[in-house]
């Protein structure tokens, strides 16, 4: 690749700092009980650390918002202060990643997944109970690290993001269109009028976008804001950092949802809709692996909990933007969606409609709109002539393009 491209490669720009952060994460998740220790460190081991997308964004944001602390050039006090600030911002990146991994551990239990990051998921390898405990453990370690920052506003932002993860995950389990519409109706006056006058498509889309914000965008957006607050930025700048994270996260999830229909399981490293259809009727008579946005409900017991856990009705409502747009074009699809995809032929039927519709294209356009909003937030930051600041901002803008053009 060209030199220019490499200069903007977001991961290369923070490569060194990311590896330090990865090591710190490893030391932060050490537990005193051996069983818990091996569960907690599972996804922090070499080769399965994941993309570390969130820390990468947050470190770039930290540089992008760099303010020059006034003082004489090369003043030792000034240097010490900016070094201290950077450390605190790195803490936020570590906390964010730890919360993310905790949510993945719990998610894999809820989804009864068997793989994650190309290896066995923790619930699959050590059972549901330990996977839940390991997630709780990571969350509590993240809380301790958060407290050590001694900034109540930052604590509040991150705690809200955790609440949003839980809310978004629960919203995803709400399967009936009636329940979804009732939710959108209580959101606010605009949505009340939407509920009363506009159609099914409108409230389904509202619900989907709200759920997506909670599940995917809230953590990164609130963390971006925390980075800005730690830097002592104004409310305006903090909001721009928040807007960047929010719109980047939304664009990312929209593309993720598109790839669930168009991607293959080898390129994604996780299940996609196409192989879920082949997995039907697996060992426990349930569909496993997660990822399928239209996967029929999983009736199986998860892991070692003796079969008390049954997610009947859990997954049937996961219809995403492409299908929602297809439904707007082909109202007949609504009846199919409302049946909840218990029947594999309904999955095929929905895919046929999707193929005939502009659903994928319109979802891409929506992703592009959010990518544009994200890059506009960066462009609205107060000007800076610092070279590092400019490079980081360009990389953040460039990232919005990478997100919408990615194929895996
Ligand atoms: C992945 O979704 C999961 C999430 C983005 C969040 C899950 C959140 C919880 C389970 C709530 C608990 C939160 C904490 C902090 C303990 P996915 O199943 O669509 O994606 P996948 O294909 O990667 O599994
Ligand atoms: C797993 O996260 C998947 C999800 C939480 C749902 C979709 C989200 C993304 C694809 C990335 C989120 C984007 C932003 C801007 C925060 P992951 O793909 O990050 O998992 P990893 O940690 O294993 O790489
Ligand atoms: Mg899930
Ligand atoms: Mg999952």
pLDDT tens-digit readout, 353-372:
999 999 999 999 999 999 99
User: Whose CA is closest to atom 15 on ligand 1?
Assistant: 103
Average pLDDT over residues 102-124: 97
Token reading at 398: 């460039």
C-alpha angle 346-321-205 in degrees, rounded to nearest 5: 105
Model pLDDT for residues 164-179, shown as the tens digit of each residue: 999 999 998 876 666 6
- Residue 217 DSSP code: I
Model pLDDT for residues 305-336, shown as the tens digit of each residue: 332 222 333 445 478 999 999 999 999 988 88
Which one is predicted more confidently, 125 or 295?
125
User: Whose CA is closest to atom 9 on ligand 1?
Assistant: 103
Ligand 2 atom at minimal distance to the Cα of residue 248: 15
> pTM for the whole thing?
0.87
By mean pLDDT, which of 227-231, 279-283, 371-375 is the weakest?
A: 279-283
**101 Cβ below 6 A of ligand 1:** no
Is residue 346 over pLDDT 90? no
Average pLDDT over residues 76-97: 94
Residue 107's pLDDT band, with cuts at 50, 70 and 90, is very high
Query: Measured between alpha carbons, how far is 96 from 223 in angstroms, rounded to an integer?
Result: 7
Average pLDDT over residues 380-394: 96
| 376 alpha carbon – ligand 4 mean position (Å) | 31
**216 Cβ below 6 A of ligand 1:** yes
| 295 alpha carbon – ligand 4 mean position (Å) | 12
ipTM of the complex: 0.93
Q: Which ligand number lies closest to the CA of residue 104? A: 1
Is residue 272 over pLDDT 90? no
Report which of 257, 220, 207, 206 is spatially closest to residue 60, judged by C-alpha positions: 220
Ligand 1 atom at minimal distance to the Cα of residue 104: 3
By mean pLDDT, which of 107-111, 120-124, 349-353 is the weakest?
A: 349-353
- Residue 357 DSSP code: S
Ligand 2 atom at minimal distance to the Cα of residue 219: 16
**220 Cβ below 6 A of ligand 2:** yes
| 125 alpha carbon – ligand 1 mean position (Å) | 18
CB atoms within 10 A of CB 137: 21
Which one is predicted more confidently, 75 or 365?
365
pLDDT, position 5: 64
User: Whose CA is closest to atom 22 on ligand 2?
Assistant: 50
Residue 1's pLDDT band, with cuts at 50, 70 and 90, is low
Mean pLDDT value across the chain: 84
Alpha-helix residue ranges (DSSP H) falling in 215-358: 218-230, 235-262, 265-268, 273-279, 321-329, 332-338, 344-356
Query: Measured between alpha carbons, how far is 214 from 211 in angstroms, rounded to an integer?
Result: 5
Average pLDDT over residues 59-70: 89
């Amino acid at each position: 690749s060209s030199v220019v491209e490499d200069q903007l490669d977001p991961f290369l720009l923070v490569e060194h700092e990311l590896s330090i952060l990865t090591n710190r994460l490893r030391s932060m998740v050490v537990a005193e009980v051996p069983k818990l220790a091996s569960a907690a460190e599972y996804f922090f081991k070499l080769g399965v650390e994941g993309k570390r997308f969130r820390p990468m964004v947050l470190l770039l944001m930290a540089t992008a918002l760099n303010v020059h602390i006034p003082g004489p050039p090369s003043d030792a006090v000034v240097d010490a202060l900016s070094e201290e600030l950077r450390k605190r911002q790195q803490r936020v990146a570590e906390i964010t990643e730890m919360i993310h991994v905790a949510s993945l551990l719990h998610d894999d239990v809820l989804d009864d997944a068997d793989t994650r990051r190309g290896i066995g998921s923790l619930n699959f390898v050590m059972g549901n109970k330990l996977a839940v405990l390991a997630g709780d453990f990571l969350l509590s370690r993240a809380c301790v690290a958060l407290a050590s920052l001694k900034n109540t506003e930052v604590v509040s932002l991150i705690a809200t993001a955790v609440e949003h993860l839980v809310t978004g995950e629960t919203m995803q389990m709400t399967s009936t269109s009636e329940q979804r519409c009732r939710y959108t109706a209580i959101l606010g006056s605009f949505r009340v009028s939407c509920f009363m006058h506009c159609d099914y498509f409108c409230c389904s889309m509202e619900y989907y976008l709200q759920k997506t914000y909670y599940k995917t965008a809230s953590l990164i957006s609130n963390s971006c804001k925390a980075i800005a607050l730690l830097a002592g930025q104004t409310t305006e700048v903090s909001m721009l950092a928040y807007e960047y994270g929010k719109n980047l996260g939304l664009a990312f999830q929209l593309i993720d949802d598109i790839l669930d229909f168009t991607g293959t399981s080898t390129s994604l490293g996780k299940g996609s809709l196409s192989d879920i259809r082949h997995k039907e009727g697996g060992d426990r008579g349930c569909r496993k692996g997660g990822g399928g946005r239209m996967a029929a409900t999983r009736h199986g017991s998860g892991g070692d909990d003796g079969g008390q856990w049954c997610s009947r009705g859990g997954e049937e409502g996961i219809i995403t933007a492409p299908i929602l747009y297809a439904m707007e074009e082909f109202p007949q699809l609504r009846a199919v969606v409302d049946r909840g995809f218990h029947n594999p032929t309904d999955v095929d039927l929905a895919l046929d409609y999707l193929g005939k519709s502009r659903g994928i294209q319109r979802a891409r356009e929506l992703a592009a709109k959010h990518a544009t909003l994200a890059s506009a937030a960066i462009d609205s930051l107060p000007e800076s002539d610092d070279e590092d600041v400019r490079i980081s901002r360009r990389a953040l803008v460039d990232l919005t393009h990478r997100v919408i053009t990615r194929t895996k």
